[in-house]
Amino acid sequence: RASAIPEKVAMAVPRRSLDGRLFWVLGLVCAMYQIFFVRSAAGQTAQLSVNASPQNTQMIPENMFGIFFEEINHAGAGGLWAELVNNRGFEAGGPNTPSNIDPWLIIGDESNIIVATDRSSCFATNPIALRMEVLCESSGNDVCPPGGVGIYNPGFWGMNIEEAKVYKVSMYIMSSDSMDLTVSLTSSDGLQNLAAYTITADKEDFKEWTKVEFDLQSSERNPNSRLQLTTRTSGIVWFDQVSLMPSETYMRHGYRKDLASMLANLKPKILKFPG
């Protein structure tokens, strides 16, 4: 009841409620509601004592700004995080098989390549891996199409690849067959080659899961690029945790320099997370 508020509390609510003390009033109202709710629900009485004298209050600066971060609508993956590969672990559909590999797409058709997911990954908490079986060869009766067969990832609405910039590639590979795998950055249609690196291995070189790391330096700029893995050598290869990151990130923390710099320049006093 309003009559239960001590006089000193009622008088402490300033008329200048818009000068930053509005939050104090809101907090007082919430506290009163909680107390009266408990009293009515449990049949018990409670006493509230608040010292809201002016000397105990602090003004909220009018220029106190904050930022809010939540991993929705690609705020993190595809946004602040500098990772260019979308669905790098092939687990967009969860830990069950067959999993969703979108937006990965296949280069080739059923006559020369079979792609599926299984639970053979070396990561216990992320068990899904991609299995790529190549049925064609560089010569002979079953010749692969020009450029080979494989898979590609367009990233988040196309990868923005900049001229002369260095990009770090890492992935986990497993295969008992010989390998001649080309990892390249291309235009969205695959016709323009921006950078390429070839992984060559003999049989049994990758019989266990092995992490492979190397750099790609782009020869041109293309804001709508893709990362592709292609081969003209028959055999079975497993992939997991395929990553493409710019070598330069904000303070080397893995954040996009442009976005993180703009957020830092806001000089936020508060950083809020959901929950």
Q: What is the DSSP track for 12-30?
A: HS-S-GGGTTHHHHHHHHH
Nearest to 244 by CA among 121, 95, 104: 104
Q: Is the domain of 194 the same as that of 86? A: yes
Residue 1 has pLDDT above 60, yes or no: no
Helix (H) or strand (E) holding 64: none
Q: Is residue 264 part of a domain?
A: no
Residue 35 has pLDDT above 80, yes or no: no
Q: What SS3 class is residue 143? A: strand
pLDDT tens digits, one per residue of 134-191: 999 999 889 999 999 999 999 999 999 999 999 999 999 999 999 999 999 999 999 9
103 Cβ neighbours under 8 A, 6+ residues apart: 86, 87, 153, 154, 155
Q: Is the domain of 41 the same as that of 93? A: no
Q: Is residue 62 part of a domain?
A: no
Q: Is the domain of 82 the same as that of 144? A: yes
| Structure confidence at residue 243 (pLDDT) | 99
Q: Is residue 209 part of a domain?
A: yes
Q: Is the domain of 103 the same as that of 45? A: no
Q: Is residue 70 part of a domain?
A: no
| CATH number (domain holding residue 195) | 2.60.120.260
Displacement of CA 176 from its chain's centroid (Å): 32
Q: Is the domain of 88 the same as that of 51? A: no
* Token pair belonging to 104: 């990965």
Q: Is residue 211 part of a domain?
A: yes
Q: Is residue 164 part of a domain?
A: yes
Nearest to 32 by CA among 48, 8, 13: 48
Q: Is the domain of 26 the same as that of 138? A: no
* Token pair belonging to 49: 């004592």
Nearest to 256 by CA among 101, 102, 74: 74
| CA 148 to each of CA 104, 129, 130: distance values in angstroms, whole numbers, following the listed order | 16, 21, 18
* Token pair belonging to 107: 């280069």
Q: Give the number of other CB atoms < 10 A from CB of residue 35.
A: 15
pLDDT tens digits, one per residue of 81-113: 999 999 999 999 888 888 999 999 999 999 999
Q: Which domain holds residue 43?
A: 2-56
pLDDT tens digits, one per residue of 195-231: 999 999 999 899 999 999 999 999 999 999 999 999 9
Q: Is the domain of 121 the same as that of 170? A: yes
Q: Is the domain of 214 the same as that of 131? A: yes
Q: Is residue 46 part of a domain?
A: yes
* Token pair belonging to 273: 């997370």
Q: Is residue 273 part of a domain?
A: no
Q: Is the N-terminal amide bond of 98 cis, ω within 30° of 0?
A: yes
25 Cβ neighbours under 8 A, 6+ residues apart: 13, 17
**How would DSSP label each residue in 179-242?**
EEEEEEEEETTS-SEEEEEEEEE-TTTEEEEEEEEEEEE-SS-EEEEEEEEEESS-EEEEEEEE
Helix (H) or strand (E) holding 140: none
Q: Is the domain of 219 the same as that of 135? A: yes
Q: Is the domain of 125 the same as that of 39? A: no
Burial class (CB in 10 A: 0-12, 13-18, 19+), 185: buried
Q: Is the domain of 83 the same as that of 43? A: no
Structural domain count of the chain? 2
Q: Is the domain of 119 the same as that of 9? A: no
Q: What mean pLDDT value characterizes the chain? A: 87
pLDDT tens digits, one per residue of 56-80: 888 888 888 899 999 999 999 999 9
